Chain A
Amino acid sequence: MKEFTDIELLNQFRKEETKHYAFNMLVRQYQQKVYWHIRRILIDHDDTNDVVQNVFIKVWKSLENFREDSKLFTWIYRIATNEAITFLNQKKKRFFVPMVDVEQRLSASLNGDVLFTGDKIQLILQKAILKLPTQQRIVFNMKYFEGMKYEEISEVLGVTVGALKASYHHAVKKIEKFVSEY
């Protein structure tokens, strides 16, 4: 599939006759990155599917007003992260449980999840990640699994590079501790 630049996509989206085509290309281009980013936060596929759809609906509604202050990818990632966090908070409110319990439930759901193909080691790693506070977990996922640079993560989350480095360092230490005690 041909990769479109931000400018190409935006120019085509702003023309009425190519608007739908451009949006379709945008979805195809970013759907997997957005999906995996959210899936690592929400763990469950169905929840992820709902949130990813909402993310692209929001992108469609707001793309007209996108000011190009940042890269299109960064902007979409920011929407995706916010939507995932909002979803987790809503889940917490819906079941009247603290966030720790929501993440414990997610951790437990991994055991029987047919859409989780990892071995025992991977299961332990995911459980260790789910023990982290949400923000730290997101930072760890973005750095470790998605291979993003601190500068990119900083743009998405609006957190300084220094704070991100500290957050990642703490996350790694906690995971190592959890794994070695498992």
Chain B
Amino acid sequence: MQAGNLKMKENKKYSTFNLSDQTQNSTGQGIFSVPAGYFEELETEITSKVTLLSSLEHSGQENHFAVPANYFENFPITVSEKLANEGQKSKKLFHVSLQPQQALTFASFLLLLWFSINTRTTRTISLTDTAYSIELSNETEYLQYIDEYTIVDLLANQTESQNSSSSSDSYIQYLLDNDIEISQIENNL
């Protein structure tokens, strides 16, 4: 108990010492320092912020946004027009509606497409034709360098082979018509 009282007394002494110390440096200049002109600026800053907040309280609720001239007078008409357009759009949902410029572009595209397909087909034909004609002209040119005997021989061979094939056909036909078996002929031979 006594020890406790002693401690309290010591504390009191300590705090008394501190307080007196603080009172000696009541402005705090001895411990801390502030930038030059700080308190003058602080006063101005606080005053301006208070003014700002109080002016917001008084004028804040006013509307400070503006609209173009006659905006609200014309607005119902704008909405009506938009509604009319919306109606037309929904009616034309399944119709193809083209502006003249769009129609022209579309027509040009179709025309180009047709030309492109058509040109490709023509080119193919002409290429074949050219190939054919080149082949033909080459043959014709080649014929000039072959002597006529070779040609005669070639034609004679072709005729012979045609005849031989036609004669064998006639033999077979003959056998069929007369109901003659090939084995019978073989036996006779």
Residues of A within 8 A of B (CB): 20, 24, 27-28, 31-32, 35-36, 39-40, 45, 49, 52-53, 56-57, 60, 115-119, 121-122, 124-126, 144-145, 147, 176, 179-180, 182
| With contact pairs A116-B66, A121-B55, A147-B61 given, residues A57 and B86 touching in the complex (Cβ less than 8 Å) | yes
Which of A57, A116, A121, A182 touches B65 (beta carbons < 8 Å)?
A116
Please state if B67 and A179 are interface contacts (CB–CB under 8 Å): no
State which of A24, A52, A118 has its C-beta within 8 Å of the C-beta of B80: A24
Across the interface, do B75 and A144 meet the contact criterion of CB distance under 8 Å? no
Chain B residues closer than 8 Å to A40, beta-carbon distance: 65
A-B contact pairs, 9 of them (CB 8 A): A31-B76, A40-B65, A45-B65, A49-B71, A57-B82, A116-B66, A117-B66, A119-B64, A180-B53
Task: Tell whether A179 pairs with B59 under 8 Å between CB atoms, given A35-B67, A115-B66.
Answer: no
Whether B67 contacts A56 by the Cβ 8 Å rule is: no
Given A27-B79, A116-B65, the answer on whether A121 and B72 have CB atoms closer than 8 Å is: no
Known: A32-B72, A57-B86, A121-B52. A144 touches B61 (CB 8 A): yes
Flag whether B101 is at the interface (Cβ < 8 A): no
B61 touches A115 (CB 8 A): no
Tell whether B113 is near chain A: CB-to-CB under 8 Å.
Answer: no
In the complex, the answer to whether A179 meets B63 with C-beta atoms within 8 Å is no
Known: A40-B65, A144-B61. A121 touches B82 (CB 8 A): no
Residues of chain A within 8 A (CB-CB) of B80 are: 20, 24
CB distance from A11 to the nearest CB of B (A): 20
B-side interface residues, number (CB < 8 Å):
25
* Chain B nearest Cβ from A64, distance in angstroms: 14
CA–CA, A119 to B51, complex, Å?
14
* B68 interface residue (CB < 8 Å to A): yes
How distant is B78 from chain A, measured CB to nearest CB, in Å? 7
Q: Give the distance to chain B from A26, nearest Cβ to Cβ, in Å.
A: 9
Q: How far is the CB of A144 from chain B (nearest CB, A)?
A: 6
Report which B residues bind A (CB closer than 8 A): 49, 52-53, 55-56, 59-68, 71-72, 75-76, 78-80, 82-83, 86
Point out the residue from A24, A52, A118, A180 that lies within 8 Å of B64, measured CB to CB: A118
Among A117, A122, A124, the one with the most B-chain Cβ atoms within 10 Å of its Cβ is: A122
Q: How far is the CA of A24 from the CA of B71 in the complex (A)?
A: 15
- A121:B83 contact, CB within 8 angstroms: no
Bound complex: CA A27 to CA B53 (Å): 37
A-chain residues with CB within 8 Å of residue B59 when the two chains form the complex: 121-122
Residues of chain B contacted by A116 (CB below 8 angstroms): 64-66
Besides A57-B86, A121-B59, 11 other CB < 8 A contacts? Answer: A27-B76, A27-B79, A31-B72, A57-B82, A57-B83, A115-B67, A116-B65, A118-B64, A121-B55, A126-B64, A144-B60
| Contact A115/B82 with A31-B76, A145-B61 known, Cβ cut-off 8 Å | no
Known contacts A53-B82, A57-B79; A179 and B64 CB within 8 A of each other: no
* Nearest A residue (CB) for B73: A28
Question: From A121, which residue of chain B is reached at the shortest CB distance?
Answer: B55
A115 and B53 contacting across the interface, CB-CB below 8 Å: no
Q: Which residues of A contact B82 (CB under 8 A)?
A: 53, 57
